[in-house]
Amino acid sequence: MDLARVTDAVDQGWSRVRDTPGYLSEREARFIMTALALAPAEGANIEIGSFKGRSTVGLGTVARMLELDPVHAIDPHTSPSSTDPDLHGAVTSYDEFIAHIERTGSSTHVVPHRAFSHDVAATWNGPIRFLWIDGDHTYAGAHADVEMFKPFLADGAVVAMHDVLGTFEGSLRVFVEDLLESDEFGPAGFSGSIGWAQYRPRDGHALGHRMRRRLLAIPARRLIPVAESGRNLAGWNKYVYKFWRPLAPHGDVNAQRLARRLRT
Ligand SMILES: C[S@@+](CC[C@H](N)C(=O)[O-])C[C@H]1O[C@@H](n2cnc3c(N)ncnc32)[C@H](O)[C@@H]1O
């Protein structure tokens, strides 16, 4: 993939994400768009948890500009989990979601599934090259999302999970236990509060990959009890969080470096 085209598509994507309500920082948006562009595998692109479409419009724009397959955007749009954003009295986020993907010109490259991830997984078939998990952030929910879709991951696929370096204990535990501690995954890292890993069952056990994942898991594991304590960081927890979080490198994505790391 031509990196100049990737950078241009990501810039265009960000200009649409910026004006769309939701929960994703610029750093995180740029990371998922770049990873979508660079995942060196064939197959479908999947988003679990769309809400009002903030991440969706970025992914849809990049898919359109780089002529990738569309993004399957899965969300019942009822904020069913205790970890979901409040709908503030509205019954659904669906109408706003549709309005945003249409306004940003990304609807041609987004396939909405107004459904739970487990319902889509039950009938899914075919390989997946990019999996963005931003749905139910409880341990059970995030673990189920990884378990249900992992059998479909193509060799070289990228999995990115939101809020693993925030205060969501479920997502963080799943990222550490199911991805960082698994030799089925190779290169891995953080960007903002996103944790990502590349599915590499062939060589995930290689010393370089395993060591790097273990190094990332050290600070991440220390943050699990902090995340468990809830969203109001205070006292000792605040100190632990401030000490360990910077030790998990989570800076801006560099497309050239990511492309090098993802090369299979
Ligand atoms: C944090 S929001 C997603 C934010 C969005 N990605 C953004 O960029 O603003 C979480 C969403 O996950 C959805 N959700 C919760 N459980 C789900 C599940 N099991 N399957 C699919 N979506 C789910 C909720 O309806 C909610 O809209």
- Domain CATH number, residue 88: 3.40.50.150
**Number of domains within the chain:** 1
Cβ 259 vs Cβ 34: under 8 Å: no
The finding on whether 51 has its CB within 6 A of some atom of ligand 1 is yes
pLDDT given at position 232: 73
Mutational pocket test of ligand 1: of 17, 81, 97, 194, the residue with most ligand atoms within 8 Å of the beta carbon: 81
Give the model's confidence band at 229: pLDDT under 50 very low, under 70 low, under 90 confident, else very high.
Answer: confident
How many Å lie between the centroid of ligand 1 and the Cα of residue 219?
Answer: 26
Q: Return the bridge partners of 159, or none.
A: 131, 197
The finding on whether 80 has its CB within 6 A of some atom of ligand 1 is yes
Residue where the block lists tokens 């963005």: 132
CA distances (Å), 69 to each of 25, 64, 130, 250, 263, in order?
A: 24, 8, 11, 28, 20
Interval 141-162: pLDDT, tens: 999 999 999 999 999 999 999 9
Give the residue among 82, 46, 90, 75 at the shortest CA–CA distance from 135: 75
How many Å lie between the centroid of ligand 1 and the Cα of residue 44?
Answer: 19
Q: How many Cα atoms within 13 Å fall on the side-chain side of residue 263?
A: 7
Interval 53-100: pLDDT, tens: 999 999 999 999 999 999 999 999 999 999 999 999 999 999 999 999
Cβ 125 vs Cβ 119: under 8 Å: no
For residue 18, give its domain range: 3-262
- Strand segments, DSSP code E, in the chain are 44-48, 71-74, 110-113, 128-133, 153-161, 185-191, 194-199
The finding on whether 182 has its CB within 6 A of some atom of ligand 1 is no
Give the model's confidence band at 176: pLDDT under 50 very low, under 70 low, under 90 confident, else very high.
Answer: very high
Give the residue among 117, 236, 223, 244 at the shortest CA–CA distance from 168: 223
pLDDT given at position 112: 98
Interval 84-143: pLDDT, tens: 999 999 999 999 999 999 999 999 999 999 999 999 999 999 999 999 999 999 999 999
DSSP symbols for 137-195: -SHHHHHHHHHHHGGGEEEEEEEEETTTTTT-HHHHHHIIIIIIT-TTEEEEEEETTEE
pLDDT given at position 238: 87
- Measured by CA distance, the residue closest to atom 25 of ligand 1 is 79
Give the model's confidence band at 254: pLDDT under 50 very low, under 70 low, under 90 confident, else very high.
Answer: very high
- Residue 116 CA: which ligand 1 atom is closest? 20
- Measured by CA distance, the residue closest to atom 16 of ligand 1 is 136
Give the model's confidence band at 231: pLDDT under 50 very low, under 70 low, under 90 confident, else very high.
Answer: low
